[in-house]
C-alpha cells in the first residue's frame, strides 16, 4: 500500500514537470498524437517509449479539455478546417500487448477513438521490436560485445558501437543494415530466448500483441488497428523492391487477420521518402502517418500524409519539457 502511494506521488511529480505548456495547447491546432506503450510501472530508465498509465491519464485528461478526440478517418478529412475545439486523433505505435490491457479500456470508457499500429513480428521466431532488443542489450544486460554478421559492436559507456565506423548499433540498424536478416541475427547473437527464460522483471514493456489480441482490440468500440510494417524495418532505408515486398505482405496478413483492408500505415521510425508513397498506395495503404517530422518537400501538398506529435517518457523533467515544447510548437 505504501509502495502504491509512493508510486502515485512519484508519478504525479513526474507529470507535474512534464505537462504540455498551456500556450502551446492553445496554438497547436488539429493534432494527431503518438504514444507507444502504456505500462503499470515506469521504464524511463530503459527507454522513453513506455508511459505509465497514471501519467498517460493525466496527459489525456488535460488534452481532453482543449481538444475533441476523433477517429483517424475523420481527422484526415477535417484536418485542414478550423474547428471550435481542435481535433485530436490518438495513435499508438508498435503494437504492445499493454495497449489492450491498459490504454484501450480507459479509452473505451471515455468513448475516445484510437488507432493502434501493429507489426507482423508476432509471426517471427523472435517477436520483438528491434529497438527493444537493443535496449535489453544495452540497458538491461549491459552486453560488452556483440558479433553480428561478422561485424563487432563494442560497449562504450552505455551504448553499443560498430567497431570500425563507431556508428551506434541503433543507427547501424536504421540506416546501414535495415533488413530483417540482421535483426534476426541480433536476436540470435543476444541468445534472446535463453536470456528471457531467466528474465525476472515484467515483460510488459516489450511484449507484443498476439493475433487474438490484435483481433480483440480491433473489435472494441472506437478502437481500430493500423499497419506498422511486417518487421518494423526502416522502409526509407530499404531498397525499394524489399520495401514493396514488405508492404504487400503486411497488407495481406492484416486483411486476412481482420477480415478487412487496413487503410492506415504509420512508417516505422518515421522512415520514408517520396518514392515510397506510390508503393504504399498500391499495397492498399491510402492514408500515411509520419512521426516527428514530414520528410518529403511534397508532403505539405499531399492530403494523404500527416505528421504526429509524440508524447514520450523522457528521463529528466528538463528533456521532457524540451520535448513537449518542440512537439507542440
Ligand atoms: Zn515503431
pLDDT tens readout for residues 33-80: 999 999 999 998 999 999 999 989 998 998 999 999 999 999 999 999
3 Cα: distance to centroid of ligand 1 (angstroms): 32
- Res 98 pLDDT > 70: yes
Same domain, yes or no: 137 and 118: no
* pLDDT tens sequence across 153-207: 999 999 999 999 999 999 999 999 999 999 999 999 999 999 999 999 999 999 9
Cα–Cα nearest to 106, from 24, 223, 2, 16: 223
- Res 133 pLDDT > 80: yes
Residue 28 lies in a domain: yes
262 Cα: distance to centroid of ligand 1 (angstroms): 17
Percent of the chain exceeding pLDDT 90 equals 81
User: What is the C-alpha to C-alpha distance for residues 225 and 51, in angstroms, rounded to an integer?
Assistant: 20
Residue 202 lies in a domain: no
Cα–Cα nearest to 237, from 275, 264, 282, 185: 275
Which of 177, 197, 217 marks a domain boundary? 197
* pLDDT tens sequence across 232-270: 999 999 999 999 999 999 999 999 999 999 999 999 999
Same domain, yes or no: 222 and 187: no
* pLDDT tens sequence across 287-313: 999 998 899 999 999 999 999 988 888
228 Cα: distance to centroid of ligand 1 (angstroms): 7
CA 315 to chain centre: 17
Mean pLDDT of the chain: 92
Task: Name the β-bridge partners of 115.
Answer: 91, 224
Backbone angles phi, psi at 32, to 5 degrees: -105, 125
The DSSP call for residue 97 is: T
Same domain, yes or no: 190 and 264: no
Which of 165, 197, 229 marks a domain boundary? 197
Which of 145, 162, 197 marks a domain boundary? 197
232 Cα: distance to centroid of ligand 1 (angstroms): 6
* pLDDT tens sequence across 111-121: 999 999 999 99
User: What is the C-alpha to C-alpha distance for residues 206 and 126, in angstroms, rounded to an integer?
Assistant: 12
Same domain, yes or no: 296 and 235: yes
- One-character DSSP codes across 99-154: IIIIIHHHHHHHT--EEEEE-SGGGSSS-S-HHHHHHIIIIIS--SEEEETTEEEE
> What is the residue range of 162's domain?
130-197
Same domain, yes or no: 239 and 118: yes
Please, where are the H alpha helices in 157-315? 169-171, 180-189, 192-197, 211-218, 240-258, 277-282
Residue 310 lies in a domain: yes
Residues whose CB is less than 8 angstroms from the CB of residue 168 and which lie 6 or more positions away in sequence, other chains included: 159, 160, 161, 162
Same domain, yes or no: 297 and 165: no
Residue 107 lies in a domain: yes
- Res 93 pLDDT > 90: yes
- Res 324 pLDDT > 70: no
Residue 48 lies in a domain: yes
Same domain, yes or no: 192 and 212: no
- Res 87 pLDDT > 90: yes
Same domain, yes or no: 299 and 211: yes
93 Cα: distance to centroid of ligand 1 (angstroms): 5
220 Cα: distance to centroid of ligand 1 (angstroms): 22
Cα–Cα nearest to 246, from 208, 280, 287, 212: 280
82 Cα: distance to centroid of ligand 1 (angstroms): 30
**Domain tally, the chain:** 2
323 pLDDT tier (thresholds 50, 70, 90): low
- Res 28 pLDDT > 90: no
Task: Name the β-bridge partners of 50.
Answer: 37
Supply the pTM of this predicted model. Answer: 0.94
Please compute the mean of the pLDDT values over residues 98-121 and round it to a whole number: 98
**pLDDT at residue 14, rounded to an integer:** 66
316 pLDDT tier (thresholds 50, 70, 90): low
- Res 16 pLDDT > 80: no
128 Cα: distance to centroid of ligand 1 (angstroms): 11
The continuous run of DSSP H or E covering 75 comes out as: helix 72-78
User: What is the C-alpha to C-alpha distance for residues 107 and 113, in angstroms, rounded to an integer?
Assistant: 7
Q: What is the CATH number of the domain that holds 257?
A: 3.20.20.370
Pick the more confident residue, 326 or 129. Answer: 129
117 Cα: distance to centroid of ligand 1 (angstroms): 8
269 Cα: distance to centroid of ligand 1 (angstroms): 5
Residue 168 lies in a domain: yes
Same domain, yes or no: 149 and 217: no
Same domain, yes or no: 234 and 188: no
**pLDDT at residue 167, rounded to an integer:** 97
231 Cα: distance to centroid of ligand 1 (angstroms): 10
7 pLDDT tier (thresholds 50, 70, 90): confident
Same domain, yes or no: 255 and 106: yes
Same domain, yes or no: 249 and 102: yes
Pick the more confident residue, 195 or 12. Answer: 195
Amino acid at each position: 500500500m505504501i509502495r502504491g502511494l509512493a508510486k502515485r506521488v512519484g508519478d504525479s511529480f513526474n507529470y507535474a514537470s512534464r505537462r504540455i505548456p498551456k500556450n502551446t495547447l492553445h496554438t497547436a491546432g488539429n493534432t494527431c498524437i503518438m504514444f507507444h506503450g502504456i505500462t503499470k510501472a515506469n521504464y524511463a530508465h530503459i527507454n522513453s517509449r513506455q508511459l505509465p498509465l497514471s501519467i498517460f491519464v493525466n496527459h489525456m485528461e488535460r488534452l481532453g479539455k482543449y481538444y475533441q478526440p476523433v477517429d483517424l478517418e475523420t481527422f484526415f478529412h477535417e484536418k485542414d478546417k478550423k474547428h471550435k475545439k481542435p481535433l485530436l486523433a490518438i495513435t499508438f505505435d508498435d503494437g504492445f500487448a499493454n495497449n489492450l490491457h491498459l490504454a484501450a479500456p480507459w479509452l473505451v470508457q471515455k468513448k475516445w477513438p484510437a488507432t493502434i499500429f501493429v507489426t507482423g513480428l508476432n509471426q517471427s521466431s523472435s517477436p520483438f521490436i528491434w529497438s527493444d532488443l537493443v535496449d535489453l542489450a544495452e540497458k538491461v544486460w549491459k552486453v560488452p560485445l556483440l558479433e553480428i554478421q561478422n561485424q563487432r559492436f563494442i560497449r562504450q559507456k552505455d551504448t553499443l558501437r560498430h567497431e570500425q565506423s563507431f556508428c551506434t548499433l541503433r543507427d547501424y540498424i536504421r540506416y546501414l543494415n535495415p533488413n530483417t536478416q540482421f535483426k534476426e541475427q541480433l536476436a540470435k547473437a543476444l541468445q534472446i530466448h535463453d536470456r528471457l527464460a531467466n528474465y525476472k522483471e515484467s515483460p510488459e514493456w516489450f511484449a507484443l500483441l498476439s493475433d487474438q489480441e490484435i483481433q480483440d482490440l480491433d473489435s472494441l468500440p472506437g478502437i481500430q488497428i493500423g499497419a506498422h510494417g511486417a518487421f518494423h524495418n526502416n522502409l526509407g532505408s530499404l531498397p525499394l523492391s524489399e520495401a514493396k515486398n514488405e508492404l504487400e505482405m503486411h497488407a495481406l496478413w492484416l486483411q486476412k487477420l481482420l477480415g478487412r483492408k487496413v487503410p492506415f500505415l504509420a512508417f516505422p521510425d518515421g522512415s520514408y521518402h517520396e518514392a515510397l508513397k506510390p508503393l504504399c498506395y498500391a499495397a492498399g495503404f491510402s492514408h500515411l502517418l509520419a512521426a516527428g517530422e514530414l520528410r518529403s518537400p511534397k508532403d505539405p501538398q499531399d492530403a494523404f500524409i500527416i505528421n504526429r506529435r509524440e508524447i514520450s517518457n523522457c528521463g529528466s523533467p528538463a528533456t521532457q519539457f524540451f520535448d513537449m515544447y518542440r512537439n507542440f510548437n
